[in-house]
Amino acid sequence: MGMDLRLVAPAGLLLAALAAGCVDRGVVVTRDQFGDAWPLAVNSARVECEEAGAVVLRLGSRRFALNEAAANQGHPDPAEVLAEGADPSPLLSACAPQVASSS
């Protein structure tokens, strides 16, 4: 019943990257950074912070909601770009402290 350590390191990497740039243009996240915890069906994506605390996943010109604020802005659910059975929460939980601190 301990913490899944496969999620801790990737979340820490993403948090550090977000602290360096999420408020500006976001940060590219990759399968290599997350290893087995990678939740997406693609090899890389960009996580971006938008107004009102919205956190979005950008794939090319498409954006997907990673939190309720982004969904409220009309961004679609990321289900179609998730790996089968995957949970995008490692991306969201890593973004949450950055979003809170930028408010």
- Which pLDDT tens digit goes with each residue over 51-73? 888 899 999 999 999 999 999 99
Mean pLDDT, rounded, of the chain: 76
* Percentage of residues in the chain having pLDDT higher than 70: 64
Single pTM value for the model: 0.69
Whether 1 has a pLDDT exceeding 80, the answer reads no
CB 58 within 8 A of CB 29: no
Strand ranges (E), 10-100: 27-30, 44-49, 55-59, 62-65
Whether 19 has a pLDDT exceeding 80, the answer reads no
Looking at residues 23-28, what average pLDDT do you find? 68
